[in-house]
Amino acid sequence: MSQIRDRIAGWVNDSAKADPLEAARHFSFIVVRLALAAMAIVFIPPFMFFRGSLAPWETVIVVCAMTPMASIAILSRTGNFNLAFAVSAAGHVLGCLACASGAGALSGPTLVWLALAPMEALVSFSLPVFAITAAAMFATVALIAGGLFLGVVATHSGLSPAARLLMVVPAFAYAGFQTCAAVSVSALRSRVERLGAARHHSLSNVMGDLIMRGDRGGAVLEAGVESRRVLNLQGRDLTGRGFFERLLVQDRPLYLKTVADACRGDATATCVLRLRTGSTPSHQGDFREPVFTWIELRARRIALDDDALGRESAAEAAACVTMVVRDISHDKRREQEIEAARAEAERANAWKDRFLANMSHELRTPLNAIIGFSEILGNPELMPAEADKRLEYAGIIHGSGKHLLDVVNSVLDISKMEAGRFSISPEPFEIGPLVDSCSDIMSLKAEQNGVQLKRELAEGLPELVADKRACRQVLINLLGNALKFTPAGGVVTIGALRDGDQIAFYVSDTGRGMSAYDLPMLGGAFFQAGVPGDRTYEGTGLGLSVVRGLVGLHGGEISVESGLGLGTCVTVRLPIDCGEPVDGRASARIIVIPRGPAQPASANSNSGSWEIGRQSA
C-alpha cells in the first residue's frame, strides 16, 4: 500500500507539492478518480453479461466512466485543479444524461448519479469548482425536464434488477470514496491550521511582541493571545475599535496614517504610540488616572497570490494589514534618562561657566589687593612713612589672603562631600554657647553693615550630639548670607528651639528675599539668586551648598521661606543625636516655601511649600 501511495503521490504536479494542503487535495482527487475508473473496469463485464450487447446510451456511459483518467492526466500535467475537475464533471453530467435517456429520468441509477454531482462539488472545497458543477447539474436537470415534457425521455425503463444494482453500487462506492477523501483533506486542513497557530504563538513568544491583523480603517480584526502577556490586556479589549480608542488622542492620527501608508505600498510602516493599558488611583481626587504604555507599531500590507486565492479574495486580503506591537516603555525610560543626563550635563556646563565667572571675580579682587599692597610695602619709594598706614595695608593683605583661603576651603569641602570623603565627629555640646559664639564672630560685620543682629534661644534646650565645628560653619555661613543681603537698618535674627526629637536652628532677615523662580534652584553649587552677572553682592554661591552638604551628613533637613522684597528665613533641623552614620554623599533635602503678601514671615510655616530632592537642586 505504501508503494501504491508513493506511486500515486508521484503523479501530483510539482506546483502543488510546495503546499501540503493543496498537495492533499490533488492526491485525493487522483485517488477517487482512479477508484471510479477501477470500479468501471470491474462492473462493466458483469453488466454486459446480464445485458448482452450494449445499447448506444450504455456505450456512452462506459465512455464517460473513462473520463476520470483524462482528468487525472490533465491535473498531473498542468496542475490546474479547476480544469481537471471541469473535465471530470463534464463526463459525470454526460453519463447522467445518457442514463436518463435509456434507464429513465426517474429511475434509481439516474437519481443516484445526479445526487452525487452536488456532493462532489461540496467536498472539493473550491468555489469555482462548485460553480462549474452546479451549472452543469442545472443544465442536466433542465435537459431531462425538457425531454420528459416532449416525450423523448421516459420516466422508467425495463432494466432488470441486476442491471440496476450494477449501476447503483458503483455510485455508492464512489460516494464513500469522496467522503473519505473529504474527511482526510479536512483533517489535514485542521492539522495545518493548528500547526500554523502553534508556529505563530511560538514566533510571538520568541519575539516578545503582539501580532494583530487589521483593516485599512484601523479596526483590529484579530489580536493574538499574547496580548495578555505583552500589554496586560485581553484580545477582546483590542479588537474592533478597542485598540484605536485606547490610544492617546494625540497619537490617533499618526496611527491611522501608518495603517494607510502600509495599505498603499509594500513597505513596512512604523510609528511610536501611547496605549492605555490600565489605570491607577489619583492622588488628587476620587478617580482613576489612565496609565499609558509606550509601544512601537510596525504595519505591513498582506500580499497574497491572486491565483491561489482568487482575485476577489486577494483584493480583500490586500485591504488588510499585519501589525506587530512591541512594548518599548523600558527603551523610552532609558531614552528619557539619557536625555535627562544630557540636560544635566548641559546644566553642569552652564554652572561651570558661571562658576568660572564668579571665581575669576572672587579671586581677582583679593589677588589684586595682595599684589598691589605687597608691592607698595616692598618698594621703599612707595611705602608710606606712617606706621598706621603700613599696618592698614598689611591688614588688607591678611584679609584678602583669608578670603582666598575661605574660598578654596569651601571648594575643597564640596568636593569631599560629593566624593563621600568628608567625615564628621559627633560630640555632645551646649547649643546656647554655639549660637552666642557665632553671633559674636559676625557682630563686627553686622555693625559695619549697619544691621541689627538679634539672638533668640528657647529655654531648656538639651545637649546636641553633632560635629561642633560643622554646626558652627553652618550657622556662620547662614549669618554671612543674611548680613550680605540685608540693607542698612535691617534686622538679622539667629535662634534655636526644640522641635520634637530635633533641634531647629533658624536665621531670618529683612533683606531683599528671593523670587519664586530662584527658590527651586537653591543649594546648587555656585548658584546666586538674582540676575546672572549682577555683582552687587560678592560671593561664590558656595555657602548654602556647603550648608546643605554638612546638614546632609548629620541626617538633617533645610527649609527656606522667602519672597522678593519680603526677607528670608532659613531653618536647619538636626536630630538631637546625630551619632548614626549617614551616607557621605547624601545632601540634605531643601523645602522651599514661597512668601506672598498675605503670608507671615514665620520660620515654621509650610504653606505652599515644595521639596528639592537630595541629589539635585
**pLDDT greater than 90 at residue 24:** no
What tens digit of pLDDT does each residue of 179-238 get?
A: 777 777 777 777 777 776 677 666 666 666 888 888 888 899 888 777 777 888 888 888
Q: Which of 86, 39, 40, 45 is nearest to 63 (CA)?
A: 40
If DSSP codes are grouped into helix, strand and coil, which group holds residue 485? Answer: coil
What tens digit of pLDDT does each residue of 101-129 get?
A: 666 656 656 666 666 766 666 666 566 76
The label of the residue with cell 544635566 reads 344
Name the percent of the chain lying above pLDDT 70.
Answer: 70
Is CATH 1.10.287.130 correct for 336-417?
yes
Which range (270-274, 356-360, 447-451, 550-554) has the least confidence?
Answer: 356-360
| Tally of CB atoms within 10 A around 547 | 24
Q: Determine the Cα angle at 577 with ends 572 and 581, to 5°.
A: 95
- Binning pLDDT at 50, 70 and 90, where does residue 616 land? very low
Q: Which residues of 493-506 are buried (b: 16+ CB within 10 A; e: fewer)?
A: bbbbbeeeebbbbb
DSSP state of 577: B
The label of the residue with cell 445485458 reads 51
Is CATH 3.40.228.10 correct for 208-327?
no
Separation between Cα atoms, residue 27 and residue 16, nearest integer Å: 10
What class, spelled out in words, does domain 423-612 have in CATH?
alpha beta
Task: Tell me how far apart the 2 most distant CA atoms of the chain are, in Å.
Answer: 163
Q: Which of 18-27, 299-308, 336-345 has the largest mean confidence?
A: 336-345
Task: Please provide residue 64's backbone torsions phi and psi, each rounded to the nearest 5 degrees.
Answer: -65, -30
Separation between Cα atoms, residue 263 and residue 281, nearest integer Å: 40
- Binning pLDDT at 50, 70 and 90, where does residue 359 land? low
If DSSP codes are grouped into helix, strand and coil, which group holds residue 359? Answer: helix
Predicted confidence at residue 546, as pLDDT, reads: 77
In this structure, the dihedral spanned by the alpha carbons of residues 19, 25, 26 and 27, taken in order and rounded to 10 degrees, is 100
Calculate the alpha carbon distances from 531 to 218, 222, 445 in Å.
Answer: 53, 61, 25
Annotated domain spans of the chain: 2-201, 208-327, 336-417, 423-612
Separation between Cα atoms, residue 406 and residue 400, nearest integer Å: 10
> For the residues 44-54, what does the mean pLDDT come to?
66
DSSP state of 576: S
Q: Which of 80-89, 128-137, 494-503, 522-531 has the largest mean confidence?
A: 494-503
Predicted confidence at residue 451, as pLDDT, reads: 92
Predicted confidence at residue 417, as pLDDT, reads: 65
Q: Which of 51-55, 221-225, 423-427, 493-497 has the largest mean confidence?
A: 493-497
- CA 303 to chain centroid, in Å, comes to 28
> For the residues 374-397, what does the mean pLDDT come to?
85
Calculate the alpha carbon distances from 9 to 68, 69, 76 in Å.
Answer: 17, 15, 10
Which pTM value belongs to this model?
0.44
- Binning pLDDT at 50, 70 and 90, where does residue 322 land? confident
User: For the chain, give me the number of helices (H) and strands (E)?
Assistant: 19, 14
Separation between Cα atoms, residue 63 and residue 447, nearest integer Å: 132
Predicted confidence at residue 608, as pLDDT, reads: 44
**pLDDT greater than 70 at residue 277:** yes
- Binning pLDDT at 50, 70 and 90, where does residue 166 land? low
Predicted confidence at residue 315, as pLDDT, reads: 46
Residue 96 · residue 141 · CB < 8 Å:
no
Average pLDDT, the chain: 76
Q: Which of 196, 209, 202, 197 is nearest to 323 (CA)?
A: 209
**pLDDT greater than 70 at residue 462:** yes
Residue 239 · residue 218 · CB < 8 Å:
no
